[in-house]
A and B are shown apart, each in its own frame.
Chain A
């Protein structure tokens, strides 16, 4: 094999990894958007965000595998369920602590993380479960792409566009954007801030639910599955600047590419190591995030 042949193969792999990185970035951006929304609007961090996704994945599993309904029936139901969970989390845990010190809010949502993990362990056991849906692999020239990833990417994109339209076109969406800029005068606009917080929490839950529908296509669900994408979601949000939607979107793709390209040159685990190392370095260079603007 000559030098030219080696380069051809290398480029194909590189291109495949780049595209896979973009596909991964879509789902990570969706996860980051939900968390950023909650932080940007309510000024609270849902430590248990990935555990809401885990509950959603179980919901998908039970509806599809145990009750035998179609994936497309299960998905809207799961999104609704996790939206209700998000609203309940706000109503029961966050709302009473809104004026409490931030550390109390962190501890409380951290406590919910353990409650949800333990609940899942007791209720569902520690077995790895999956939908039993095996989507085909798409061959494109010499490159292979998982159909599940492609589908997830597109659905994540549709979800994010829907949120964008909601935030820019509706009165409620405009109020959600306004509230973080001046909380005190919202009442002068006739806005009930408690209601906006509840709607935002439901929306954040719905995004976690959508992410659950997409992740369950690619990964098995178990009580601790949140640990495999929760931390990376937090890193993305912090790198993008907590509460900064555009920064989070960009950071999601930066991380996804590092993971995907890092995995190309070595194992996938090394991709994660690279991503975390990159994060640490960036925190020294730009501690307030890629697009530092707020505060």
Chain B
């Protein structure tokens, strides 16, 4: 479904990704793990078009993502839940979700998508007229994921969904990811919470200093010495 080949990207003169190649097949859940500043968020941003690669190719179902204007990439079926959620704090939950269905193809399906999202997050329905910025961190994360689901995507990019949340809420977020997966959505998830994320995904990539260092199934990654030593504290 998604195919990255030798992608290089960065900010100004600072290069954050070096020849990154990565595949996500339809129906899979894939994790990207690695330390702070390894380039995980840059990877997500380059896929959704927030920054453009300096070299390399990105294809979504065969379509050239790099040649697609950034505001049209969501129409290819890629929805990005950004780091720190990035809700519109002074818009209501309803309006935030409405923004998720902004693209032409999604506008006509606003009511049915709302139903899907409210079904997944009943809490959001209770809060629909509340300003998004006044909700708890967990509720905001639900709203951010809900907003991404409004466009009826094929591929969901989740950037650190557990960051800044209380441990109990982190559990809930990973439960949610499982449910989203079960609904048939393909998921690419970036996480620092390695132990948790490896329970949810099929495969994972380890990224360090902007390069892919290792990849394999969750079981292989859990067994790998590099991952064990550096991230699982074993």
Contacts and interface: CB of A to CB of B under 8 A. Distances in A.
A181 to B, nearest CB: 4
B95 A185 contact: no
A80 interface: no
Interface string B41-71: 0000000111000000000000000000111
Contact of B50 (A175, A187, A190, A191): A187
A182 interface: yes
Nearest to B90: A181
Nearest to B133: A181
B230 to A, nearest CB: 31
Contacts of B75: 190
Interface stretch (B18-26, B97-105, B175-183, B198-206): B97-105
Nearest to B106: A190
Interface in B70-98: 70-75, 79-80, 82, 86, 88-91, 95, 98
A178 interface: yes
Given A174-B98, A182-B86, A192 B69 contact: yes
Contacts, number: 64
Nearest to B95: A174
A162 interface: no
B71 A187 contact: yes
A241 B155 CA distance: 42
A4 interface: no
A182 B50 contact: no
Contacts of B49: 187
A184 B50 contact: yes
A174 B70 contact: no
B95 A188 contact: no
A178 B99 contact: yes
A186 B91 contact: no
B125 interface: no
A185 B70 contact: no
B151 interface: yes
Contacts of A175: 99, 102
A191 B91 contact: no
B107 interface: yes
B86 A185 contact: yes
A6 B27 CA distance: 86
Nearest to A178: B88
Nearest to A168: B95
A188 B89 contact: no
23 contacts: A171-B98, A171-B101, A174-B91, A175-B99, A178-B88, A178-B91, A181-B88, A182-B86, A184-B50, A186-B71, A187-B48, A187-B49, A187-B50, A187-B71, A188-B82, A189-B100, A189-B102, A189-B147, A190-B71, A190-B75, A191-B102, A192-B69, A193-B71
Interface of B: 48-50, 69-75, 79-80, 82, 86, 88-91, 95, 98-103, 106-107, 147, 151
Q: What are the 4 tightest A-B residue pairs by CB atom distance, in nearest-first order?
A: A190-B103, A187-B70, A190-B74, A181-B88
